[in-house]
Amino acid sequence: MFSLEGRRALVTGSARGIGRAIARAFAEYGATVAVHGVRASDALDQSLADVRAFSPRSVAVTGDLGEPGAAAKIVAAATAAVGAPDIMVANASVQVRRPWLEIPWEEALQQMQVNFHATLQLFQACFPAMAKQKWGRLVSVGSVQEVRPHNEMPVYAASKAALENLVRNLAKQVGADGVTVNNLCPGVFATDRNAEALNNPVYAGLVRGKIPVRDFAQPEDAAGAALLLCSDAGRYITGVTLRVDGGMGVA
Ligand code: NAP
């Protein structure tokens, strides 16, 4: 049920962190994977090496999702290299901490563009080929901040909350085409973006106290949920927000 044999997956922001773990799991379960980063980097090379260990035809693509037209170009590059994606995980995001009264317009726009608009654009670019073959998986990556917004990340949190609404809307419209649309929501994961904050023992203790399982997640903790949503095991799951947050969203 969880096999991705013969599938092609594009995972944005998979040079590092959660996206990298999802990409590796997809390759391990048989998919050919297009990993992605903003630009060429050692991290992207390492992620590509990870997936190629399981799936030698896998490739790396690059592009800044803050730029107009980037989503379509990234999908086109993945399609040219391995064929049209059957699985699209829109994982890349931009997250800025700042008191809400000080947020500049450009910074708000960039977060909405990369986190929300680019997800819609990636879905738009991938859907036609999925519908044609009557099988596809569209996954956005949200955040526990959809329900527990951080005081200093109001735009980021709102951009993620918008994804929850988007998947409910699209799921109604594309189910008959064999395509599911879901939103995977991480809680607090020990990835690069949190390294500095979680290295502060006082802050880390405070955050841990808000998580029912009393631990931070590792990137691999998101992989099982992604596999469920993107394999035949998830055939009947669409329009949902699946939190992988150690219970933080209900605490
Ligand atoms: P991460 O380690 O910070 O990695 C982010 C990835 O996104 C990198 O591969 C980066 O590319 C790419 N990226 C950043 N800006 C981009 C842009 N403008 N255009 C295209 N790609 C861009 O991320 P993470 O912590 O694993 O988070 C992954 C997802 O989970 C994000 O959507 C995040 O909002 C969500 N999430 C994370 C947490 C958490 O605790 N970590 C919690 C809730 C939700 P480069 O490697 O080339 O820089």
Domain at 128, CATH number: 3.40.50.720
Which residue has the CA at smallest separation from atom 23 of ligand 1?
17
pLDDT tens-digit map of 162-214: 999 999 999 999 999 999 999 999 999 999 999 999 999 999 999 999 999 99
Q: How far from each other are the two terminal CA atoms of the chain, in whole angstroms?
A: 32
For residue 131, is it within any domain? yes
For residue 62, is it within any domain? yes
Closest Cα partner for 142 from 189, 175, 99?
A: 189
pLDDT score of 22: 99
For residue 2, is it within any domain? no
**Mean of the per-residue pLDDT values for the chain?**
98
% of the chain at pLDDT higher than 70: 100
pLDDT score of 227: 98
- The residue-averaged pLDDT of 12-22 equals 98
For residue 112, is it within any domain? yes
For residue 1, is it within any domain? no
Contact 123, 169 (CB under 8 A): no
The residue written with tokens 């999908």 in the block is 75
149 pLDDT band, cuts 50/70/90, is very high
List C-alpha distances in Å: 210 to 185, 187, 193, 205, 244: 16, 11, 19, 9, 14
Distance CA 159, CA 94 (A): 10
133 pLDDT band, cuts 50/70/90, is very high
Which residue has the CA at smallest separation from atom 44 of ligand 1?
143
Q: Which residues contact 206 (CB under 8 A, 6 or more apart)?
A: none
Rounded to the nearest angstrom, the distance between the alpha carbon of 13 and the centre of ligand 1 is: 5
pLDDT tens-digit map of 170-183: 999 999 999 999 99
pLDDT score of 122: 99
% of the chain at pLDDT higher than 90: 100
pLDDT score of 158: 98
pLDDT score of 128: 98
pLDDT score of 187: 98
For residue 226, is it within any domain? yes
Task: For residue 64, give its domain range.
Answer: 8-250
Q: Which atom of ligand 1 is nearest to the CA of 92?
A: 7
How many domains does the structure of the chain reveal? Answer: 1
Pocket lining for ligand 1, CB < 6 angstroms: 12-13, 15-19, 37-39, 41, 43, 64-66, 91-95, 114, 141, 143-144, 186, 188-189, 191-194
pLDDT score of 71: 98
Rounded to the nearest angstrom, the distance between the alpha carbon of 246 and the centre of ligand 1 is: 19
pLDDT tens-digit map of 49-93: 999 999 999 999 999 999 999 999 999 999 999 999 999 999 999
pLDDT score of 162: 98
Backbone angles phi, psi at 138, to 5 degrees: -110, 125
- The residue-averaged pLDDT of 225-248 equals 98
219 pLDDT band, cuts 50/70/90, is very high
Which residue has the CA at smallest separation from atom 37 of ligand 1?
186
The DSSP string of the chain is ----TT-EEEETT-SSHHHHHHHHHHHHTT-EEEEEESS--HHHHHHHHHHHTT-TT-EEEE--TTSTTHHHHHHHHHHHHH-S-SEEEE---------GGG--HHHHHHHHIIIIIHHHHHHHHHHHHHHHHT-EEEEEE--GGGTS--TT-HHHHHHHHHHHHHHHHHHHHHGGGTEEEEEEEE-SB-SHHHHHHHTSHHHHHHHHTTSTT-SPBPGGGGHHHHHHHHSGGGTT--S-EEEESTTGGG-
Rounded to the nearest angstrom, the distance between the alpha carbon of 132 and the centre of ligand 1 is: 30
pLDDT score of 100: 98
- The residue-averaged pLDDT of 35-54 equals 98
> How do beta strands 59-62 and 87-90 pair?
unpaired
Beta sheet of 32-37, edge-to-edge order = 59-62, 32-37, 8-11, 87-90, 136-141, 179-186, 241-244
